Chains A and B, each alone.
Chain A
């Protein structure tokens, strides 16, 4: 029955037809470039020039590249910082909104936190640069007015502060989307669970840690994966704010990949860096999926 007479396939032809353009676009714009990049990583290739087979040379060169060590250390710091703040702060904000008694207020706050996402990321970075600018930026001007001129510095040009100055873009880290994801998770917790917890004497922080947090672990897991992928792949913040400077103090592998591809025209080498980043993201995502418990796992373990 079913497949042997071919009816299910013919019945689903319409669905396949509707999906086909999506698969085609994915293939053309995602799969083919990936295969091309993977292949190119084995060549010395300059745009517009001849490609020369060099085998694993590009992969061997990157660990010896003077930027490699510092780039990965910076990436580790920025990714860890990003995961912590983009997972923790939105959860706190979402829980506070969820705790409001008025539905109208809850709605208003959700809107307020969501509105900033219409501001382009580049604009956010430019505003941030204005705040931390060394000679007449807002932060330094305020410090001078407060009589703390000795603390004023070129936040983005000082090797000691540049990573923090870049990491703190987006302060106070209450991303509207993340808040909504958590809020959806919190609203999905049955009211009866809260009532039972209250009957057992749980309240306030205890209820948050013992009831809410375990039951939004699926959302935490999702946000950790998305944040890690975004942090490892992303370099636009660094590109706009510092270009990885001073020296290589704020360099990350993605940015060095970009410079090699389009400034130095070392496309093969850049592709090798890209493949290495892909493998890192793949491993981190698999580890996350395998070892990070979701709400379902917690519930299953409890029962």
Chain B
């Protein structure tokens, strides 16, 4: 019998049922992407049930928790399914962690198309987990109209050719298409800058002075995540210090990558140069790099490793936020942000600040954001790329995604990335990033040079060093031990031709002759 004292319990249970009640089918379709086809439906009966993990553009999600749930990709898929009535595309989210990916790929159960940082999977390409896309990129796209980009080669539809082609793997093959671009930048609070009489800095000295003034005024001058500091910060400062001597140490001209990323130091060059004393305690530039970062760190927030950095910027505790174009979605579309904001790029380090710097414009370090790879799941039907119809559908869908009106529908639904398809303009709020991307690309990317073990140790020890947990010499010794292991693994795995590098090293000797601050014996 129901008694009065049971009423609160009943109310709580009823509220729980109400909160957990499943949404309607239509609502679910948008929330969960197209989802698996319903049993018994027309779509469920289709022969090719492809799954795609599209990353940022997952239908039903709201990037940065603002705006409406996305549905651009759904619309494109529906158009595709009308063209291919034997195919259904299901969109899925996935935990963007390597652990998940490795287990799914080894079991052959990963989505057919997947967004992944392609450098992170180079270690796995020889295992047959990914499909090389070169032969498809070199053929015309069936969806390109005659005379338009893509009608001769699918390759031609991509706008940022250098960055896109620079994604070739160590085996020279291309395992991804770069669907859009991202770039970093400093977001700053214009109201705070105006109040303190600050402006966008012209060089590093002015930048550091500005940060000191912001701290004195009670703000966290710069909000930055340790991951970004060790990824972007290291590469940018590295470029400032090593670009002036690049002519004497750029040992190899990779026919695939070098044509687009001129002067880029690849893993084999880094390995060889390490053997010559570069990037060790004996290398003055290497020491200088860490000193500059450590000096800069005093202007950053207290905690460098939380996931909610943007909160500090939005609540005006921090005056600048070093992040990337994905933040624009939040800053531009959140009606509750109470201040005016702007974007600038990191200024150059002048020779007056560091004797090793060339004072040249800061390079860019961003690049491809959504990198779509085709996995071994797309070969389920025959196991052979030459005969697999399922693979053809997967490739066709990727080609269909790069049709300008489709790319516009997908990428410009979110204020985060720059479309990498010719004929599709970025949204006005993102144009500064398009300008940044016209700059020269970085000299190297340390995070993409070696394996995950190297990255993990690199990140951790850098974090510790920046947080005063370890002295400079001890830190550099750690870095050397890490490099010892990574270089040994790379040389063994990739069978690097050291003799060719040795010849190039001797040929470039005249260019190093007058250079100051090289490691002992590196002339």
Contacts and interface: CB of A to CB of B under 8 A. Distances in A.
A and B held together in a complex:
yes
A135 B481 CA distance: 33
B452 A48 contact: no
A66 interface: yes
Nearest to B123: A265
Contacts of A249: 464, 469
Given A49-B127, A265-B102, A266-B453, A134 B464 contact: no
A245 B460 contact: yes
Contact of B460 (A47, A133, A246, A258): A246
B29 interface: no
Contacts of B37: none
A133 B306 contact: yes
A46 to B, nearest CB: 8
B463 interface: yes
B274 to A, nearest CB: 18
Interface residues of A, number: 32
A262 B103 contact: yes
Contacts of B304: 154, 157
Contacts of B459: 245
A153 B304 CA distance: 11
A135 B303 contact: yes
Contact of B305 (A153, A160, A245, A248): A245
A156 interface: yes
A78 B470 CA distance: 22
B103 A246 contact: no
A134 B460 contact: no
A264 B452 contact: yes
B117 interface: no
Contacts of B123: 265
Contacts of B220: 135
Given A66-B478, A133-B306, A249-B469, A263 B463 contact: no
Contacts of A247: 460-461, 463-465, 469-470
Given A159-B469, A259-B456, A264-B453, A48 B127 contact: yes
Interface string A4-37: 0000000000000000000000000000000000
Given A129-B306, A159-B467, 20 more contacts: A48-B102, A48-B129, A49-B126, A49-B127, A133-B303, A135-B312, A136-B311, A152-B302, A154-B303, A157-B226, A158-B469, A159-B464, A159-B470, A245-B305, A246-B464, A247-B464, A263-B99, A264-B452, A264-B456, A265-B102
25 contacts: A48-B105, A48-B106, A48-B124, A48-B127, A66-B478, A133-B303, A134-B302, A136-B312, A136-B315, A136-B317, A154-B302, A154-B303, A154-B467, A242-B305, A245-B460, A246-B305, A246-B463, A246-B469, A247-B469, A248-B464, A249-B464, A263-B452, A263-B456, A264-B451, A265-B102
Interface of A: 47-49, 66, 129, 133-136, 152-154, 156-160, 242, 244-249, 258-260, 262-266
Closest A-B pairs by Cβ, 6 of them: A134-B303, A247-B464, A159-B469, A262-B99, A154-B303, A48-B127
Interface of B: 98-99, 102-103, 105-106, 123-124, 126-129, 220, 226, 301-306, 311-312, 315, 317, 451-453, 456, 459-461, 463-465, 467-470, 478, 481
